[in-house]
Structure 1
Amino acid sequence: MLSYIVWSPKPYIVDLGFTELRWYGLLFALGFIISQQIMFYIFKKEGKKEKQVEVLTLYMVLATIIGARLGHVLFYEPARYFSNPLDILKIWEGGLASHGGAAGILIALYLFARKYSDINYLWILDRIVIVVAITGALIRTGNFMNSEIIGEPTDKAYGVVFGREVELRVNYLASAIEDVEVERAKSSSLIDGSPEKSFEYPVKMVVAYSNKVKLEDVKRFTETQLLNKLQESNISQHVEFSKDAKFDYNQKGAFIYATTYGNGVPRHAAQLYEAISCFLIFLLLFYLWNKNRSGLADGRLFGIFLIACFGLRFFYEFIKENQVAFEDGLALNMGQWLSIPLVLAGIYFIFQSLKAEKRI
């Protein structure tokens, strides 16, 4: 029962007609809301003004969005966006880079520290990484809800078959298709009187057509155009369907249902690995701050965060799919190359904080 999971939730919580309330947007916003409350607590404990947190929140929101967007543009798809610069503004189409967000935050915090004479740059960096970690956990959870930033195939018991990509590509194939559902096959069902093909990770796909279309036309379309679509690599990397796949048809209510089976491709849930790691980093940093906030030299928490967050990111990249094609020809992908200097910076800040403590 735990050999694999089929994951294909809708990326939105509710469709409002004119727009959708999406999981990613909600979790992204929730990260800033929770972070602000934690920063209120930290500032109050350390005798700072709460109004400064309100200004800090604005700096962080703008820096994260602008930095992450420009980071994706510069690091991953510069040619595309430089030839179509207006596309840079289309954030709703996706494309945010955490390394770019980190750069944006560093710049914004430098400007913030200059604004207030009672706030040191390293002091605010040490505090902000506490909430950056919890926000990162929520954002990566949002990536999981969107079935994006997926991992490489695995045979581990916690492997996840991401069926959402299959659903989207099939759903857009014809206007007569009303819905597509991909789920784990509960049993060895029968199709056309013959036992289902023996699959290691059996997955069932149900395509719902409008009953305004004749059954004969549904069968003809399903067994030609749809079947051909199922052979494409962007589908077979998630679920493998035989070119001779059989379909079971039945009509119920306003729909005609076409059901077939395939073999799922379990992958590492890399988004969840990073989300859990970020949450644990948050707990560690908050514990260290709360236990000995006056005894830690400036830069210590910042250094720990850089090493833990981007050190883990470096290793997680080995089990993640590359985001863009040009990375396939690199010894290390872009995420790894960008993580190396941040880890080195973390080592530097810890070393400097240890030297500062010895001088006290």
Structure 2
Amino acid sequence: MMNLLNYIVWQPDIEAFHLGPISVRWYGLMWVIGLVLAYLLVQRLYKEQKIKDEYFDPLAIYCFFGILIGARLGHCLFYEPDYFLTSSKGLIEMILPIRFLPEGGWKVIGYAGLASHGGTLGLMIALWMYVRKTKLSIWTVLDNIAIATGSTACFIRLGNLMNSEIIGKITDVPWAFIFEKVDAVPRHPGQLYEAIAYAILFVIMWTLHKKKPEKIGTGWYFGFCLTYIFTFRFFIEYTKEIQEAFEASLPIDMGQILSIPFIILGAYCMIRAKKIA
């Protein structure tokens, strides 16, 4: 029988602090920190590469809306299509950060449900639109974004940890977390595993770009980023609980299915970069 005293009991307040009547939640705060870090890092990369400020200014807007819209639609379409696509209320909730109440009326809950695969796809589409406007090289832009991606991904997963969501399977490893908002059994802290992996990715990418700046613009950094993140994501899914009931009938879960195309794309980009080097 497991001794629950040996594990980490996890029950943080989802609210970080209040600004008057406004409640600032850890999840939203982690998103903001991650995006601000990426903004500053990419701004520095642009300066290193002597890319004009006028080309950098609109980048944050494209990235923000690309990630948010893609992540939201990804969750709704990949994980809960039966809810969001079968009623007018579901369609409204997919677009607006509200939830209709059973007794009538509605309340603002934020976007409760964001999928990283959808966010990645949304970001790629947004960057394609961005380079069409700025006429910059798509591979230079993708590589710059990729170098900063690990920092943002790390903070987003820390936000999931603070929310006690995307929990792992039951385990008896000594570093297991008991997510008291979920149940009273020790589980893999899958969010923490991913956060650590993405922090390591950022260190690798930032170090490599300093040693091999000539690779920026070949697509290699973008390819490595996709391959690293989604290969890790594929295998880490084995430690995580499925997010939706329909996944139980699948040979691999939805997160793994959606990771495969990104792994293939990442490998292709790395091979392509090697050929043109």
TM-score of the superposed pair, with normalisation by structure 2: 0.90
Give the whole-Å Cα distance in 2 for the aligned partners of 1:77 and 1:161.
26
Say which of 207, 221, 224 aligns to 1:301: 221
Judge conservation of contact 1:5–1:161 (CA < 8 Å) in 2: yes
Do structure 1's residue 164 and structure 2's residue 181 form an aligned pair? yes
Which has a greater percent of strand?
Answer: 1
Partner SS for 1:294: helix
- Residue 349 of structure 1 corresponds to 269
Query: Residues 17 and 324 (structure 1 numbering): CA distance in 2 closer, same or farther, change over 3 Å?
Result: farther
Do structure 1's residue 149 and structure 2's residue 152 form an aligned pair? no
- Residue 134 of structure 2 corresponds to 116
For residue 2 of structure 1, report the CA deviation from its aligned partner.
Answer: 8.4
Judge conservation of contact 1:304–1:350 (CA < 8 Å) in 2: yes
Amino acid at match of 1:53: F
Give the whole-Å Cα distance in 1 for the aligned partners of 2:142 and 2:111.
31
- Residue 64 of structure 1 corresponds to 67
Do structure 1's residue 332 and structure 2's residue 271 form an aligned pair? no
For residue 33 of structure 1, report the CA deviation from its aligned partner.
Answer: 1.0
Query: Residues 273 and 296 (structure 1 numbering): CA distance in 2 closer, same or farther, change over 3 Å?
Result: same
Do structure 1's residue 94 and structure 2's residue 112 form an aligned pair? yes
- Residue 102 of structure 2 corresponds to none
Judge conservation of contact 1:69–1:100 (CA < 8 Å) in 2: yes
Partner SS for 2:237: helix
Judge conservation of contact 2:71–2:116 (CA < 8 Å) in 1: yes
User: Which has the higher Rg, Structure 1 or Structure 2?
Assistant: 1
Query: Residues 300 and 28 (structure 1 numbering): CA distance in 2 closer, same or farther, change over 3 Å?
Result: same
Give the whole-Å Cα distance in 1 for the aligned partners of 2:32 and 2:94.
21
| CA displacement 1:178-228 (0-9 Å, x = unmatched) | xxxxxxxxxxxxxxxxxxxxxxxxxxxxxxxxxxxxxxxxxxxxxxxxxxx
Give the whole-Å Cα distance in 1 for the aligned partners of 2:175 and 2:214.
42
Which consecutive segments of 4 or more residues in structure 1 shift more than 3 A?
15-19
Do structure 1's residue 22 and structure 2's residue 41 form an aligned pair? no
Query: Residues 47 and 141 (structure 1 numbering): CA distance in 2 closer, same or farther, change over 3 Å?
Result: same
For residue 16 of structure 1, report the CA deviation from its aligned partner.
Answer: 5.3
For residue 18 of structure 1, report the CA deviation from its aligned partner.
Answer: 3.5
Do structure 1's residue 51 and structure 2's residue 28 form an aligned pair? no
For residue 32 of structure 1, report the CA deviation from its aligned partner.
Answer: 1.2
For residue 340 of structure 1, report the CA deviation from its aligned partner.
Answer: 0.6
For residue 64 of structure 1, report the CA deviation from its aligned partner.
Answer: 0.6
Cα RMSD for the two superposed structures = 1.6
For residue 52 of structure 1, report the CA deviation from its aligned partner.
Answer: 2.3
Amino acid at match of 2:8: I
> What is the correspondence of 1:277-292 to structure 2 with a 5 Å cutoff?
277-292=197-212
Say which of 247, 266, 269 aligns to 2:189: 269
Give the whole-Å Cα distance in 2 for the aligned partners of 1:324 and 1:63.
25
Query: Residues 295 and 330 (structure 1 numbering): CA distance in 2 closer, same or farther, change over 3 Å?
Result: closer
TM-score of the superposed pair, with normalisation by structure 1: 0.69
Q: Report the number of matched residues.
A: 259
- Residue 36 of structure 1 corresponds to 39
Unaligned runs of 5+ in 2: 98-109
Say which of 85, 89, 99 aligns to 2:91: 85
